[in-house]
Structure 1
Amino acid sequence: MIYNIRKIFTILSVMVLGGALVYNCEPEPDSLGEQLFLDGAANGNESSYDLIAYNIKNNDSIRTDAFKLLDLISTSSTSSRAVLGAFNESQFGMQRASYFTQVRLATYNPDFGTNAVVDSVVLVVKPVYRADSLKATTTDENYIYPDGNVDAKKVVSTYPITKFGKAKKSLTLEVREVSDFMNGFNDIVYSDKKFETYTPVLGSKEIADGNVSSVTITKDSDNSALFTSASPAIRIKLSDANTLFQTKIINKKGQPELNSVSNFIRHFRGLKVSVTNIDGYLFQIYPNDMELIMYYKSDLVDSNGTTTRPQTKYAFDLKSANTHSGYYEYNRAGATIQTYANGNTATGDLKLYAQGMGGNSIGVKFPVATINKLKELYQTNKAAIISAKIRIYTDKSQWSNAYPKPSSSDLTIVQRDKDAEGKPTTAYTTDYTSLGAAFIPVRAYDVDKNPAYYDFTVTQSLKDIVESTTNVDYSNRYFKIDLSQFLPNSSGALAGYAYTSRSFSPLRAVFVGSDPTNADNDTTVTPNEIKLRVTYGTKK
C-alpha cells in the first residue's frame, strides 16, 4: 500500500478535529514514522503477520472494594459506579451482580426526641439513565400528599435506565440487613466475597419496565415544594424495616451503640441490594448518591404546652467513608466459553472472550517467527516500521446479536513483562508513554455492523524489539486487553494504568482469535483472524 503526503495531512487534520471519532475506513500511518513519507522520501508497504492471542482467565473475580468502585481519585460522584442485575446468554453464561454497603449515622449520639416512632424507611438507588431520552411526563392535579392529607400536584418524569442485556425483562430488587462485620474502609474486598445477611427481606421493588422516574410534589395552596427528587431514582420502601429501625436505632438513643463509628458499624453492619432474577439485564448505579432515609414522628411541645407530632426525616450516611463492595455470581455451565477459552499461550485460542467485572481478559504475544521476519526486513531491506497495529474482529457468528459493541473508549491495553528479578510488571504501552495524553491507543470501526473491528497501536513496542541494536528478551512480554476504560484523576488526566472501570464494566464480546477459517461468506474477504498489521517504509 502506497501512502503520499496528501494522506498524511488528512490524518493530521482528523486527529486535531476529531481524534476520538469512530472511523469506517482503513487506518493511516501513525505519527511515530510518518516523517519518512514527507517529500516522497519513502515507499510505504503494509503486510499482515501472525500473532498469538489467547484468553486470560481471571477466575471470575476482581477487586470491588471502595477504592475500585468509588473512584476516590476523582472529585466527581458520577464517576463512581457499581452494578446491579442479572444477565444470562449462551456465550458467557449467567452473571449476577449485588451490592453491599456499610451504613453510618449522620451524627453520633443523635436525639430523636420524645416518644419517637418510625413511620417508614426508604432506600433510594440512583441508576445511570439516558437523560436525553425522556419517555413520559405525567401530572396528577388531584394528588393528596399523605403526611397531613395536603392537596397537591404530582409530576412524574420517566427515563429509560441504561442497560446491558435483555432490556424488556423485568428485575426485582431486594434489600437485606448484613449480618457479617464488613471490616474497615481500607480492607481489600474481591467480587466473590459474599457477606452473609439475615433471612428477612427488608423491602423489595420490581422494575417492570426498566425505567426510572423523578418526582416533584407541590402544595396547591402556595405551590411550595412538598417533595422533590433531585434526579431520577428507584425508591425502595423498606416496609418490613420499621421494627428493625425502631429497635436498633430509635430505641438505642443515648446508648453506646449510637455513640461512635466503630460501635455503630458493628451494631448495624450494613445493607445488601440484590436481584431475585437470574436473567434480565445489568445496570450501573451511583453508590455515592444512594440514600437511606428514616421518617419518624416524635412529640413537639409549643410555648402554649400543645403537643403535636410532626414528621421528621433522618438521612443516614452511605457515602465513601463506608466499606462498599460488589458481589458477582457466575454460572457458566453449558456456555460456549467453556469450549473455546483454553488459555493456549503457545499457538493461541480460536475465540477470544472478553468480559468486564472479573471475566476474561485477552492476551496477545508476538511470535518468534513474526519478529524474525520483521528483523530480516529491517536488516536486509533497511525497512523501518512506520506503523504497527493489532487488528481484532468481533466474531461474526458467535457474537451476532443486538447488544452494543464496545467503542474505542471501552477497551484498554497495557503492556506486561517481567523485570530483571523475574517479577511481573505492568505499564502503559510504550506508545502511550512516548506520545502522551493526545495518543489514542485503540480505534473502533464498524461498531454498528457485524463484524466490528478494532486497531490497537503498538508501533513503538514493536520497534523496540525489531529495530534494537541489541537482542531484546521479549519472551515474557505480552499485551493485556480488557473491556474497560482508563479513569481520570481530579485534574482530568489519566490516573494510571491500574485505575480502570473493569470492576463495574458490564460489557462483553466474543472476538476472533487464532482462527484462520473465520471469514465472511464472501470468499474474497480476508479471514478475520487476529493479525499484526505493519506498515514499513523503504527509501527510494
Structure 2
Amino acid sequence: MKRAFTILSMVIFGGMLVYNCEPDPDSLGEQLFLDGAAQGDEIAYDVTAYNIDNNDSIRSDASKLGLATLGAFSESQFGMQRAAYYTQLRLPAYDPDFGASATVDSVVLVIKPTYASDSITTTTDENYVYPDGSVAAKKVFNRYPATKYGRTKINSGNLTFNVNEVTEFLNGYSDIAYSNKIYGTGQLLGSKTFDGYVSSVAITKDSDNSSIFTSEVGFRIPLLSSFFKTKIIDKKGQPELKDVATFIRYFRGLKISVTDPAGYLVQFSPSNVELVMYYKSIDTGATTSTQKKYAFSVGNGNAHIGNYVYDRAGAAVKNPAIGDKKLFAQGMGGNSIGVKFPVETITKLKKLYNEKKAAIISAKIRMYTDPSWNNKLKKPSLLTIIQRDKDVKDEKGNEKNIFTNDLLLLSATPNFAYIRAYDLDKNPSYYDFTVTQSLKEIVEAGANYERKYFKIDVGNFLQSSTGTTLAGPQFTSRPFSTDRIVFLGYDANMPITDPSKKYEIKLRVTYGTK
C-alpha cells in the first residue's frame, strides 16, 4: 500500500469534471424525466457549515508524503506558512571500501522540483573546457521554470535553501510522524539561492562526441566536502558503516529548509532526491588516484517527514469575528470544513416527500468562493468530501472516515462525479458536491442523521496500489496539498438585499412529482 501514496497520478471514481454550464440531474433520477414522467423543481435549503481547526498539524511521514514541500508563503487570509523537509539517507552497500588515500572533491544534494517541461531555455557553449583533464567539449544547459504556489516576485523570485545535519533520530520509514514536530539539527552543510528555475546539463567531448557528464533536471546544492570526509570516508572499516541500523543512528539525516519569511512554495518527489559524493582514491594494485562517484540511497525505504510551521497572527482564518460566515480550507494541516443537514431542512424535505410524493432526483451542496478574496492564486480544482459520524470511532477512538454513500454506490453510474467545479477562472467560482444518495436515505428511508456530518478538504483521493480503486477515505493528497480556499458560509444578519447573499452555502435539491 505504501507505494500508492507516492503516486502523483490521483484518480477519482467517475473523474473530476470541470464545467462552465449548469449541472444536469444525477443519473440516479434521470428516468423520472423521461417522456415527461415527472416535473423537476430545484429548491435551495439552508445547511449548517462551520470551520474545523486541525491545530495546524497532520501526518506527514513517508506513507503520506506523495510530494515534499519547501518554501515560505504569506497572505492575509491564512497567514504565513513555512515548509521544510527531513530525510534519512543510507549507504548503497555496507562496510564500503573507498580505496586508499581517499579525498573528497565535492558533494551535491539534488532535489527535483516539479516544473513546466514545455517551457525551456537552452544555452550551448561550443568552446567549453571540462576542468578534469582540460578536455575540449560542448556544454548544453537547459533551464525550466519550477511550478510555484504563492508570490513569485518577492525578493526577485529567490529563496535561500539551507541543508543541515539532523541530530535527532527520525525513526523508521513505517513510523508515524506529524508535521508540527521539529527535530534537532546541527551543522549547516550547505546553502544556495534558488531562483525559481531548475536545469539539466550535458557535456560531450569535441573529439568523438562521447558523454563526459550528464545531469537530470533538478536543483543542485553543494555540501561541505570536509564534513563527508570526516563523517563517511574516515569511518571506513568502523562499526558506524557496518549495517543500516547503526548507520541511520550515526548519520541521522538531513533537513532542507528556507530562511526567507515570505515568497512561494515548490514541491518535489522524496523518492527522487539524490546525494552524490565525488572523490578520488587509489585502487588496489594502482599507483595513482582516480575519480569516483558515490551515490547515497536517499529515496525509497528512508524516513521522509514534512515539517510545516504557521504564523496565523492577524490572519482572517483565526479571527473570531469571522465566525462561520466564511469557511476556510487549507492543505498541510490547515482548516477543514464541516457541513450538516439542519433539522429544519430535513423536516421540510420530509414534508414534501410525505405529502406531495416528491422524490429527490438530485442533491448538491453548493459552495461559492468568497467574492472579496479576489487574489491571483489558482483555485483548487480538487476537493474531497467524506462522511463522519460522531458516534462511530476507529480503533484509536477517533471519528471514523468513510466515503459518502454517493461515491460508494453511484461511482459506476454514467456521468457521475461526486464534485464538479465551475468558473474557476472567475470570481466567484463555485463547487457542487453530490449528496443525492445520502439525502435520499435520510428523507425517504428515515436514516438517522443528527450525529452525522460531511468533512470537506482540499486535495484529492489517492489510488490503491492496483490503480483500479481508491486507497481509502483517509488517503488523500491533503498532507502535501499547497492549496487553500475561502468560501462564503451563512450570515443570519446579512440583509437579503446584500449582493453576497446569493453566494451563501446551500443545499440545492431537485425533486420530481408525477
> Which interval holds the TM-score relative to the shorter structure?
over 0.9
What's the offset of the Cα at 1:150?
1.7
SS of 1:32's equivalent in the other structure is: helix
The aligned counterpart of 1:327 is 307
Residues of 1 paired with 2:424 and 2:496: CA distance?
16
Give the AA of the match of 1:251. Answer: D
Report if aligned partners of 2:179, 2:306 keep a CA contact under 8 Å in 1. Answer: yes
The aligned counterpart of 1:75 is none
Report if aligned partners of 2:17, 2:419 keep a CA contact under 8 Å in 1. Answer: no
Report if aligned partners of 1:102, 1:269 keep a CA contact under 8 Å in 2. Answer: yes
Residues of 2 paired with 1:51 and 1:139: CA distance?
61
Kindly report which structure 2 residues correspond to 1:411-450, keeping only aligned pairs within 5 A, or say none.
Answer: 411-419=383-391, 424-436=399-411, 439-450=416-427
Residue 102 (structure 2) pairs with residue 152 (structure 1): no
SS of 1:44's equivalent in the other structure is: strand
Residue 241 (structure 2) pairs with residue 261 (structure 1): no
Provide the alpha-carbon RMSD of the alignment.
2.0
Candidates 296, 302, 311, aligned match of 1:316: 296
The aligned counterpart of 2:179 is 191
The aligned counterpart of 2:429 is 452
The aligned counterpart of 1:402 is 376
CA distances 1:162-200 after superposition (whole Å, capped 9, x unpaired): 1110122311101000011111222110001111100x3
What's the offset of the Cα at 1:340?
5.1
The aligned counterpart of 1:121 is 107
What's the offset of the Cα at 1:420?
6.4
SS of 1:202's equivalent in the other structure is: strand
Report if aligned partners of 2:369, 2:428 keep a CA contact under 8 Å in 1. Answer: yes
What's the offset of the Cα at 1:301?
6.3
SS of 2:442's equivalent in the other structure is: helix
Give the AA of the match of 2:317. Answer: I
What's the offset of the Cα at 1:516?
6.0
The aligned counterpart of 1:93 is 79
CA distances 1:239-286 after superposition (whole Å, capped 9, x unpaired): xx2121111110111111000001101111100000111101011111
Candidates 106, 114, 135, aligned match of 2:92: 106
The aligned counterpart of 2:440 is 463
Q: 1:319 to 1:341 in 2, by over 3 A?
A: farther
Q: 1:339 to 1:418 in 2, by over 3 A?
A: closer
Residue 360 (structure 2) pairs with residue 385 (structure 1): yes
The aligned counterpart of 1:510 is 486
Report if aligned partners of 1:340, 1:350 keep a CA contact under 8 Å in 2. Answer: no
The aligned counterpart of 2:150 is 165
Deviates most, 176-185 or 379-388: 176-185
Query: What is the number of equivalent residue pairs in this alignment?
Result: 492
The aligned counterpart of 2:36 is 40
- Which structure carries more strand by proportion? 2
Residues of 1 paired with 2:47 and 2:99: CA distance?
71
Residues of 1 paired with 2:315 and 2:132: CA distance?
52
Which stretches in structure 2 are left out of the alignment for 5+ residues?
A: 1-13
SS of 1:201's equivalent in the other structure is: strand
SS of 2:319's equivalent in the other structure is: helix
Report if aligned partners of 1:83, 1:97 keep a CA contact under 8 Å in 2. Answer: yes
Higher relative contact order (CA 8 A, sep 6+): 2
Report if aligned partners of 1:517, 1:527 keep a CA contact under 8 Å in 2. Answer: no
What's the offset of the Cα at 1:19?
6.2
Residues of 2 paired with 1:152 and 1:522: CA distance?
69
Candidates 200, 203, 207, aligned match of 2:194: 207
Residue 485 (structure 2) pairs with residue 499 (structure 1): no
Report if aligned partners of 2:33, 2:39 keep a CA contact under 8 Å in 1. Answer: yes
Q: 1:252 to 1:421 in 2, by over 3 A?
A: closer
Q: 1:521 to 1:465 in 2, by over 3 A?
A: closer
CA distances 1:320-376 after superposition (whole Å, capped 9, x unpaired): 21111000000011112122587x6xxxx1001110000000110001000000000
Residues of 2 paired with 1:372 and 1:214: CA distance?
63
Kindly report which structure 2 residues correspond to 1:175-324, keeping only aligned pairs within 5 A, or say none.
Answer: 175-198=163-186, 200-208=187-195, 210-230=196-216, 232-238=217-223, 241-300=224-283, 307-324=287-304
What's the offset of the Cα at 1:510?
0.8
Candidates 303, 306, 317, aligned match of 1:337: 317
Report if aligned partners of 1:519, 1:528 keep a CA contact under 8 Å in 2. Answer: no
The aligned counterpart of 2:3 is none
CA distances 1:452-490 after superposition (whole Å, capped 9, x unpaired): 10000000000010001x4x3211111100001111123
The aligned counterpart of 2:10 is none
Q: 1:421 to 1:171 in 2, by over 3 A?
A: closer
Deviates most, 435-444 or 184-193: 435-444
Residues of 2 paired with 1:509 and 1:521: CA distance?
25
Q: 1:278 to 1:519 in 2, by over 3 A?
A: farther
Residues of 2 paired with 1:421 and 1:110: CA distance?
50
SS of 1:308's equivalent in the other structure is: coil
Deviates most, 144-153 or 172-181: 144-153
Residues of 2 paired with 1:518 and 1:508: CA distance?
25
SS of 1:264's equivalent in the other structure is: helix
Report if aligned partners of 2:411, 2:417 keep a CA contact under 8 Å in 1. Answer: no
Q: 1:520 to 1:246 in 2, by over 3 A?
A: farther
What's the offset of the Cα at 1:449?
0.4
Q: 1:244 to 1:521 in 2, by over 3 A?
A: farther
Q: 1:366 to 1:341 in 2, by over 3 A?
A: farther
The aligned counterpart of 1:74 is none
Residues of 2 paired with 1:501 and 1:518: CA distance?
35
The aligned counterpart of 1:15 is none
